[in-house]
Amino acid sequence: MLQNLIKQIQIPMRNIPRTFSVTTKNFSLKSEEAAPIGVEDAIKDWRGRLRKAGVGDIDFNLKCIVAHVLKRKFNTISDYLSTSLNDKQVQELNRLCEARCGRMPLQYIIGEWDFMNITLRTAPTVFIPRPETEEFVQKVINEYRDVSELNLLEVGCGSGAMSLAILHELPQVRSFAIERSLTATHLAKENAKLLDLEDRFEVFNHIMEADNYLPPELCEKTFDVIISNPPYVKTEEFQYLQPEVTAYENLNALDGGPDGLKVARLVFNLASLYLRFGGKLWLELGTDHPQLVKRIMNRQYSGRLKYIAGYKDQYKQERFVEIERV
Ligand SMILES: C[S@@+](CC[C@H](N)C(=O)[O-])C[C@H]1O[C@@H](n2cnc3c(N)ncnc32)[C@H](O)[C@@H]1O
């Protein structure tokens, strides 16, 4: 169970950032500047320090940081150890490695990360999209590929990852989102703009609560589909999470209360009010949630919402839930 939780919520390290959008510059050294320093020399102390700090996959971390310092695309550097850095770049490398030793997630240090086929800006405290969410989003995309029009609502959009990946893939979708964090709301808007998807994406800074599910602008609408990856970590499980998660991500993005379904229960109510008949609610949840959700649907939402199925993630754990408005 603990292994599952760690897999689910740990910050991904192998989602390679393919596309740093910053421009490549030539740093020509003036004669009075110090000679370039080989990366091997510049990083030699950092290997040990990162290891001591408990950072895993050190080579990958260092390569990402060096690529970022060089303002190069990660995948354009075949052998990062044979590159060299000027003085200013070494200072920048030291600053970023120090932050990584403090367990700041790589995604925050670098400032952007790939999610499916899009690159998203990241910002401290805003939830970093996880690899399993890519599977979840792919499932939703496959489901609606042939539909001619779709009105979607996302509850808790964070950086905008899920909605924006769907909009990027499906031009017939229009998405509305709510998000309680102001920083995340701004970031989601910024990401939509950078991806040229702002015409089809509207995000509202709103805290969904019982009897105040949606902001006034959305209260009159009904939706064909609602998606959410709500906070679902049980409060007692926080002690097992990595420092990257507990120290840097926003706990409001993670804490699902005693059984992990505190926010999901609000989403159920919201869906029973705002989904059109026949519309679907898709949720990404924890491993022991789908069966619990099935029982909750049968007991409390009979005649309003119907549990259709649970689906497995790449670790063969049932995590994704499909519910229909009846
Ligand atoms: C697990 S994160 C998922 C973020 C994004 N969907 C993703 O997959 O990357 C949950 C998000 O829901 C937001 N959230 C939590 N409770 C909320 C509430 N009551 N109303 C609106 N947003 C909420 C959090 O701020 C956070 O951004």
What CATH number is attached to the domain comprising 81? 1.10.8.10
Note the residue count of the chain: 326
**In this structure, are 87 and 197 located in the same domain?**
no
**In this structure, are 100 and 175 located in the same domain?**
no
Tell me the average pLDDT across 297-313.
Answer: 97
Residue 205, Ramachandran bin (φ over 0: left; ψ between -120 and 50: alpha; else beta): beta
Q: How many CB atoms lie within 10 A of CB 136?
A: 22
Mutate to test the pocket of ligand 1, among 120, 134, 155, 209 (most ligand atoms within 8 A of CB): 155
8 inside domain: no
The pLDDT tens digits of the residues spanning 83-107 come to 999 999 999 999 999 999 999 999 9
pLDDT band at 2, cuts 50/70/90?
low
**In this structure, are 48 and 61 located in the same domain?**
yes
Decide the pairing of beta strands 318-325 and 275-284: antiparallel
pLDDT of residue 77: 84
pLDDT of residue 208: 98
Closest CA to 282 of 314, 311, 251: 311
Residues spanned by the domain of 71:
13-110
Domain boundary among the residues 92, 110, 128 is at 110
pTM for the structure as a whole: 0.90
The pLDDT tens digits of the residues spanning 59-75 come to 999 999 999 999 988 88
Task: Verify whether ligand 1 is closer than 6 Å to residue 252 (CB atom).
Answer: yes
Q: Would you say residue 321 has pLDDT above 50? A: yes
Please report, for residues 5, 164, 172, 282, the alpha-carbon distance to residue 118 in angstroms, rounded to integers and kept in the order given: 26, 8, 18, 21
4 inside domain: no
> Which CATH number fits the domain that encloses residue 234?
3.40.50.150
How high does pLDDT run on average in the chain? 91
213 inside domain: yes
- Helix (H/G/I), strand (E/B), else coil: 245: helix
Q: Would you say residue 244 has pLDDT above 80? A: yes
Task: Verify whether ligand 1 is closer than 6 Å to residue 180 (CB atom).
Answer: yes
CA of 251 to the centre of ligand 1 (A): 10
Task: Verify whether ligand 1 is closer than 6 Å to residue 116 (CB atom).
Answer: no
Question: What DSSP state is assigned to residue 82?
Answer: G
Give the nearest ligand 1 atom to 128 CA: 9
**In this structure, are 164 and 311 located in the same domain?**
yes
pLDDT band at 5, cuts 50/70/90?
low
Place of tokens 């496959």: 142
Rounded (10°) angle between helices 161-169 and 131-144: 40
Task: Verify whether ligand 1 is closer than 6 Å to residue 105 (CB atom).
Answer: no
Alpha-carbon distance of 244 to 210, in angstroms, equals: 31
Q: Provide the CA 256 distance to its chain's centre, in angstroms.
A: 17
